[in-house]
Chain A
């Protein structure tokens, strides 16, 4: 069965490019434009196998989303990757403390993204 990935980014370009790449490679992809919409989907019962989120977004940023998602039942060990232009170590530490599984700096090639997803999603 295809693994489900929740993709969160305020850029339509990013959402489209990453979504298409993942779908071509057999993943089912759900998208959200910001952290708030992502939380709405998670609260509505969406249980993805992986969350990939941007950091700087309107309404609710990636760090807050990670914190809130980790607090939900069943999301404690779910892999959450950040995909952002932020590269500073301080921000990474903040993400790690919030519960992120990994930190990816944009742009990420299709092959690299799949390689990392396979590392955090065994059997994908």
Chain B
């Protein structure tokens, strides 16, 4: 800035010297032309030497003046000094304003980017947590039905969701770190530049001419004071940025820890589901075998009455045939008896006939023998039939008993199988009860973790508000700087308002605003803070 002022003064001085020297050279050339005949007659060949000498004198003189001008301090008029001062101040303030505007601007630069990015990521996180909660609730409902296929589906949907949530958190952390680093770097650069400008201003104030006016001194002093407050605002903004940085960091760590718990619980849940699927399959196999056996036995038992009925029909048929044969034996016996009587009567009649009946008596005896033999044969048949009936009845009786015994044996096995089935059912009930208890515990933990994740995401809103307060303070400051510049130009350095005081008001308002919001993660440690929760 000082160099620029000097340069302007030098340009003015150099211009004057060049103008004078060029004028002298023209006068010399004019004289040479005008007095040429006279000088030729008087000096002859020495004329050129004379003009060359004069030209060299003019050139050397102008150079000497030029060197003098460059080395000697400039003496400027009051107006020039004020103008130069204003120009320097304008240069400084332009730099400040440009730097400030590029550092803290609401349209697309760091703070705006922070708000947009963190907001978007927070929304993604919340959506993930919402879907996770919904699907775990669905999983719980699915477990109540106990279907293997739905369990598989629940497991398949749960795992990618956990990955999606973890990805969202990783992105949140990465972007948060990048944005925070960029913002802090910009602030650091801006502060560095401002410090340099403050140094330049202090140097300028020291170099100001001894006879400078009181307005000029006041103007420079006020500019310096504004710089001091400006730097204080930046310091405070930087402190708030550190708080923001710590808050986002702590919040991110809390998020990661909650997500880790969430992930662990979800993995436990998946492990239990896997074990449940395996065990349920095994139990299903055992139950199916038992059921098949019972169905087989059921069919056998169902067939038994039909078999018994058929057997009874067979026995009744055989008995009927044997009874029929018995009637035939009786008929033979009757015939034999009547034949015997007939033979006896024939013998009596043969005896009455005397010798004439001797032949007839022989025949009658033979017939009687035949009757006796017939009777004996009939009795033999009757005995045989009785034995046959007895044998059939005994045989059927034994067969029936065998079947009954077999049936009893099968029935006894059915009881064992039913007992096994009941045991399996009891095991399954116990297993399901334990499984539901464990899964409910995990679901409760999941729900608690999801709630904590959602609570941690609230820091996005707190950070947003803190940044908005920063933006408000820096915008007020920048506006004041612009007003200061306009006033400086308009009044030509004769400032009526106390801009440094107004800048102080901006700083104090900002500090006061921040004091109303005790929401840093570390604010709990501060005993002077009112309680976080209060019921009136």
Contact = CB atoms under 8 A, between A and B. Distances in A.
Contacts of B148: none
B518 A21 contact: no
B49 to A, nearest CB: 90
Contacts of B534: 92, 102-104
Contacts of A114: 451
A13 B458 CA distance: 7
Interface stretch (A30-38, A68-76, A83-91): A83-91
A56 B466 CA distance: 13
Contact of A24 (B127, B451, B455): B451
B100 interface: no
A87 B535 contact: no
A110 B454 contact: yes
Contacts of A88: 515-518, 530
Contacts of A92: 530, 534
Interface string B498-525: 0000000000000000011111000100
A119 B534 CA distance: 11
A105 B119 contact: no
Nearest to A81: B535
Contacts of B516: 86-88, 90-91
A114 B534 CA distance: 14
B448 A108 contact: no
B533 A116 contact: yes
Nearest to A99: B536
Given A56-B465, A87-B518, A119-B535, 16 more contacts: A18-B454, A20-B450, A24-B450, A24-B451, A101-B535, A101-B536, A102-B535, A104-B532, A106-B461, A106-B519, A107-B462, A109-B451, A110-B450, A112-B455, A114-B451, A120-B535
Contact of A111 (B127, B451, B456): B451
Interface string B106-139: 0000000000000100110011011001000100
A17 B465 contact: no
Nearest to B451: A110
Given A14-B458, A17-B458, A87-B518, A111 B448 contact: yes
A101 B518 CA distance: 20
Contacts, number: 124
23 contacts: A12-B123, A13-B122, A13-B123, A13-B458, A13-B461, A14-B458, A16-B126, A16-B130, A18-B458, A25-B447, A86-B517, A88-B517, A92-B534, A100-B536, A101-B536, A104-B532, A105-B532, A106-B461, A107-B455, A108-B458, A109-B451, A110-B448, A110-B455
Interface residues of B, number: 38
Contact of A102 (B129, B460, B533): B533
B147 to A, nearest CB: 25
Contacts of A101: 535-536
Q: Tell me what chain B mostly uses at the interface: helix, strand, loop, or mixed.
A: helix
A92 B518 CA distance: 13
Q: Tell me what chain A mostly uses at the interface: helix, strand, loop, or mixed.
A: helix
Interface of A: 9, 11-14, 16-18, 20-21, 24-25, 56, 85-92, 96, 100-114, 116, 119-120
Contacts of B119: 12-13
B457 interface: yes
B536 A13 contact: no
Contacts of A120: 535
Q: Which 8 A-B pairs have the closest CB atoms?
A: A110-B451, A107-B458, A87-B518, A109-B455, A17-B454, A88-B516, A102-B535, A11-B461
In this complex, the member of A11, A18, A85, A119 whose beta carbon has the largest number of chain B beta carbons within 10 angstroms is: A85
Contacts of B459: 107
Nearest to B512: A88
B123 A16 contact: yes
A85 B455 contact: no
B389 interface: no
Contacts of B47: none
Nearest to B515: A88
Given A13-B458, A21-B455, A102-B534, A85 B519 contact: yes
